[in-house]
Amino acid sequence: TCNTAAPSAFNFVAKAKYEAWKALGPMSKEAAQEEYIAVVNKLVGSSSDASGKAAATPSTNSTATSSNSSSNSDAILLTNCQNGVYTITLNRPAKKNAFNLEMYNRLADALRDAGSRSDASVAVITGNGDYFSSGNDLSNFTNIPPEGPKAMARDAAKLLEKFVGSYIDFPKPLVAAVNGPAFGIMVTTLALCDVVYASDKASFSTPFMSLGQSPEGCASLLFPEIMGISRANEVLLMGRALNAGEAKERNLVAEVFPHHEFASTVQARVAAMAKQPPKSLMFSKQLIRGHRAAQLHQVNKAECALLEERWVSDECMAAIMKFMSKRAK
């Protein structure tokens, strides 16, 4: 039987392992151990498949940026600057471009780099592989620091606020090329981009309620403005997923292109934009967006503060454990 003390409720994988062990009941230690190992292997394997590398650690080789392009195919994020177009490619295709903690930092760094470079007039964000991004890597929730879950939630909220802030403060036109399914943070931040193009294979999902969380990326303000309050609430509160055509009809996407010609069409559109006078592009972007910056930062701060509370709530813990356990079956 299970006589082990229960782990912290916020350590989702450890908690689920404990619950699996406890649920085995009055079996012999040897038989229970065999059953337990089978359950845990399913759980850990599925959570890794769904959300990327567990316990991801920063690496000095995790991104590559040069004056022209990055050639390190192992980098989690690739950048290329050519003919005025600074392209940022999410590069965890085996993990559906899920965002671990390092990728949050690297994308924010890339946006700052693109914003400061004199040879970059326009920036583009896209994904490598079949997905644009599967959103937040749930393994981020399994690394509890010695200070405990509240410290982890505090640090994660600071990271998210910085990440979203890098979109708000980006001074040049920012184009999203949504090449496939998009989830969570990489859906909400589309409203902070200046133009969004989508492949006809793209879809858009914000499952915040089913994970016991709340909107982010300034979506609580911008989605109702873009879609109307009722349609935005279908997406944010009811978790309605949109296909590419529905996203265009709701004004989240400018145009949808057939997948087989998506990359070449977007490249041509962005190249044409980059040929325009760069200061005219930048100043016009600031005229359109600049007056909202203070408000957007305020909304971003409020969203992150609420998420910090949600991440340590029993409701959120139970929802994420339920999700991870379902993936194990």
pLDDT in tens, 256-300: 999 999 999 999 999 999 999 999 999 999 999 999 999 999 999
* pLDDT value for 322: 83
Q: Once rounded to an integer, what is the mean pLDDT over residues 223-228?
A: 98
Q: Once rounded to an integer, what is the mean pLDDT over residues 101-105?
A: 94
Q: Please give the Cα distance from 35 to 43 (Å, whole number).
A: 13
Of the candidates 223, 217, 251, 252, the one whose C-alpha atom is nearest the C-alpha of residue 237 is 223
> pTM of the full predicted structure?
0.80
| Distance, CA of 307 to chain centre | 14
Q: Please give the Cα distance from 324 to 87 (Å, whole number).
A: 33
DSSP code for 65: -
* pLDDT value for 304: 98
Tell me the pairing of strands 84-90 and 77-82: antiparallel
What are the counts of helices (DSSP H) followed by strands (DSSP E) for the chain?
Answer: 12, 10
* pLDDT value for 317: 85
Whether the per-residue pLDDT at 139 is higher than 80: the answer is: no
| Distance, CA of 41 to chain centre | 26
Q: Are 132 and 76 in contact (CB under 8 A)?
A: no
Q: Please give the Cα distance from 129 to 153 (Å, whole number).
A: 31
Of the candidates 176, 175, 252, 163, the one whose C-alpha atom is nearest the C-alpha of residue 216 is 163
pLDDT band at residue 324 using 50, 70 and 90 as cut-offs: confident
| Distance, CA of 268 to chain centre | 26
Which long-range contacts does 27-31 make (Cβ < 8 Å, 24+ apart)? 27/1
Q: Please give the Cα distance from 125 to 132 (Å, whole number).
A: 9
> Tokens at residue 14, please?
């450890």
pLDDT in tens, 235-254: 999 999 999 999 999 999 99
Q: Are 102 and 56 in contact (CB under 8 A)?
A: yes
Q: Please give the Cα distance from 182 to 72 (Å, whole number).
A: 24
Residue 80 forms beta bridges with which residues? 69, 87
Q: Please give the Cα distance from 177 to 261 (Å, whole number).
A: 12
pLDDT band at residue 142 using 50, 70 and 90 as cut-offs: low
* pLDDT value for 46: 42
* pLDDT value for 327: 66
* pLDDT value for 65: 39
* pLDDT value for 51: 38
How many Cβ atoms from other residues are within 10 Å of residue 24's Cβ?
Answer: 16
Share of the chain above pLDDT 90, in %: 67
Of the candidates 91, 85, 86, 87, the one whose C-alpha atom is nearest the C-alpha of residue 61 is 91
Of the candidates 215, 161, 207, the one whose C-alpha atom is nearest the C-alpha of residue 181 is 207
Amino acid code (one letter) for 245: G
> Tokens at residue 265, please?
């069409």
How many Cβ atoms from other residues are within 10 Å of residue 84's Cβ?
Answer: 19
Whether the per-residue pLDDT at 98 is higher than 90: the answer is: yes
Residue 199 forms beta bridges with which residues? 257
Q: What is the mean pLDDT of the chain?
A: 83
Tell me the pairing of strands 63-64 and 84-90: unpaired
Whether the per-residue pLDDT at 195 is higher than 90: the answer is: yes
* pLDDT value for 182: 98
pLDDT in tens, 41-91: 444 344 444 333 332 222 323 333 333 445 455 689 999 999 999 999 999
Q: Please give the Cα distance from 177 to 132 (Å, whole number).
A: 8
Whether the per-residue pLDDT at 197 is higher than 90: the answer is: yes
Amino acid code (one letter) for 82: Q
